[in-house]
Structure 1
Amino acid sequence: MWSLRLTRLALAIQPGRGQDADREGLHPLPLPVRSKPLLLAVLALVATAVVGLSLTSRRRPTSGLVDGHLRPCPTSPNCASSVCVDGAHGADPLPIYGDPQSEFERLVGLTQSLPRTELLQLTEDYAHFEVCTRILRFRSDLELHLDAPERLIQLRSASRVGHSDFGSNHATLERLRALFQGRE
């Protein structure tokens, strides 16, 4: 079907085939001169929006522990956390089988080894990282909390801008889990 359309289109743009092309509903490929400035304006608008979002994501949000726990996720789907129980935001915490403090320090070291990841804050039971996307340079916040009595490390990853993250925060947590469990 596609080859038939392409053949008809090729015939339509050949010299002398203009009337037949109009009757068959086919139009030549080149853009009219009037639409080129419009196309350039749309491209400039999209580029400005992407740059603006990238710059907006550089602001650091409120982070840290609230009453000894990671902050809950907002209602938007651009967050993943092990302290959330709903399906959209939920992720499993990391179980600890060895010494809790040394396992937390090991996870902090593994997280620092990830590309485009910067440690912003570190205490004995909390770590806050900034993770930057490769192409558009959007920033997310990755937080780790050692829950020593429960022998768990709680995780939270949240985008700073936008409504959806297309699953990137869940993917970040799963990659961290794989590194911690020695699968990657």
Structure 2
Amino acid sequence: MKIAGLLLGALLLVAALLLLAAGQLGFLAGQPPKDLGVRDGRLKPPSPTPNSVSSQAGSHADHPQRSGADIAPLHYTGDAKAALGRLATLLESTPGCVLVTREPAYLYAQCHTRWLKFTDDVEFALDEAAHVIQVRSASRLGRKDFGVNRARVEALRARFEKT
């Protein structure tokens, strides 16, 4: 019995090390979606699985609604372009995030988890008429994200509101 327990422990350790190595080598990053960006004034709808959030979740009537997908947009005062510029600077200074696309009214970043390097796609679209920046954050792989996308957006919101 003692040997079986040791073998099981060794197998679990090897499995954990293999998973960590796979993540560090980029095998868990997934592929970037080809349909990101703003279309008809909206970002892509949130995923039907609980691994994404969107401030425009309710604006996609043709998409099945999912509980927990809604998140508030980022509110700003003053100059819209300056607000988006502040947000871009915050993304660039966020550990694990890489700003991939910076356009006058749109930002796209890829954020990676520390150990396993799972990649999340984070988009922001400037809505000048409403004085908000719409947001969508989604995991590429898996069904659940354990609240990581929501936590990331809320942390960015807190930093954005301080600047």
- What residue identity is the alignment partner of 2:71? A
Using CA pairs under 8 Å that are at least 6 residues apart, name the structure with larger relative contact order, 1 or 2.
2
**2:70 counterpart of 1:90:** yes
Aligned partner of residue 181 in structure 1, secondary structure: helix
Matching residue of 1:154: 134
Alignment pair present for 1:65 and 2:38? yes
Cα distance between partner residues in 2 of 1:38 and 1:117: 37
Rounded to whole Å, the distance in 1 between the matches of 2:22 and 2:43 is 29
In the other structure, the counterpart of 2:28 is 56
Say which SS state the counterpart of residue 57 (structure 2) adopts. coil
* TM-fit CA distance, 1:136: 2.1
Q: Which residue of 2 aligns with 1:181?
A: 161
- Residue aligning to 1:77: 50
TM-score (norm 1): 0.73
Instruction: Report how far residue 59 of structure 1 moved.
Output: 2.3
1:1-184 to 2 correspondence within 5 Å?
Answer: 32-49=2-19, 51-52=21-22, 55-62=27-34, 63-85=36-58, 87-182=67-162
- 1:42 and 1:173 map into 2 onto residues whose CA distance is 34
* Percentage of matched positions with identical amino acids: 32
TM-score (norm: length of structure 2): 0.82
* Structure 2: gaps of 5 or more residues: 59-65
1:95 and 1:153 map into 2 onto residues whose CA distance is 6
Secondary structure of the structure 1 residue equivalent to 2:122: strand
Q: CA RMSD in A?
A: 2.1
Rate the CA distance shift 1:41–1:81 in 2: closer, same or farther, 3 A.
same
Partner residue in 2 for 1:21: none
The CA deviation at 1:140 is: 0.8
Q: Read off the aligned partner of 1:69 and give its amino acid letter.
A: R
**Structure whose CA Rg is larger:** 1
Equivalenced residues, count: 153
Q: For the structure 1 residues 46 and 134, does the alpha-carbon distance in structure 2 shift closer, same or farther, using more than 3 Å as the test? A: closer
Q: Distance in 1 between matches of 2:14 and 2:116?
A: 16
